[in-house]
Structure 1
Amino acid sequence: MSDPAFFGYGSLVNLSTHSYQDPRPARLKGWRRTWQGTTAHEIAYLSVFQDPSSEIAGVIARVPGADWAALDAREDVYNRHNVTDAVVHDAPVAMTAVYQVMPDIYTPHTNDHRILRSYLDVVVQGYHQMFGVEGVDAFFATTDAWAPIIDDRSAPQYPRHRALTADETALVDHHLQRLNLV
């Protein structure tokens, strides 16, 4: 029996934030990304919701021995959902899960839940490294509920923050300006 996998659509796309095995580009059909407020924290989290007309790019990677404990701890405001039949990739078939914000802590998205720039930086860096500029463009186009930004780049609050190249910084800033968020 092969190890299960996860489909990552946010910070998990940035392979420098984890060491899960056999990471590969993948697509999740019938789901869309959104920024989501929770009762757990005052910041917004990336989440997904079912949308039959949508498809998002991301990454799959194996979870050795089906040991989900570390990943579940990392994704502590999320529940896992089986999306095996909705994920398109070139890896051997295995049960594949996606993380979605838990419904019991979900709040209607408001501007009270701001996006950490250091979190967004990690996500965009991952998309840039895996999918190029076109992948970053697609990330912004397939993500809903953009909210005001907390500019914490000089003192990152996101625990897995990464330094960006000048090109990556310019790419993030370009999209935030286009969305009138900075």
Structure 2
Amino acid sequence: MNRQADPEEAFRQAGWPGFRARLFHLYFLLRRPMTLGVRGLVYNRASNSVFLIRHTYVPGWHLPGGGVEVSETLEQALVRELAEEGNIALTTPPVLKSMHFNRRSSKRDHVGLYLIEAFSQTAPKLPDHEIAEAGFFPLDHLPQETTPATLRRIAEIFGGERISPYW
């Protein structure tokens, strides 16, 4: 039986890091049966680049973002996550571009994708316990380890690809 390769398979971790990531998602599933997250596509028009992060606990380069906490709006969560993961502050409201069902995380996870074109970065993001690396990358020279979902979101926004309902 031939099994077709899953492009997301390469971004799953085995061993302790993978177990830790699954525990993290289980914790949020138990705490919040329906999970809601945000991701920000931070675009620097002058350099034609996007801001990406690499976590310490999952492989690949991702758009910054995370879970919406109790009593937070999507936009409040985005502002908090951008500050935490990139030292990025919005200078105008972000634009909600799409909503996606993230069936890889759980049967109840949804992610809102925002486009951010007006922002300031107070300082480059230095590594910490959550973020291993972060930076701006030209659209035509993204890191090889950029996740398939991140590449899809970039193609939808900048390449005119049809917006998928799935993350």
Normalised to the residue count of structure 1, the TM-score between the two structures is 0.29
Where is the helix percentage greater, Structure 1 or Structure 2?
1
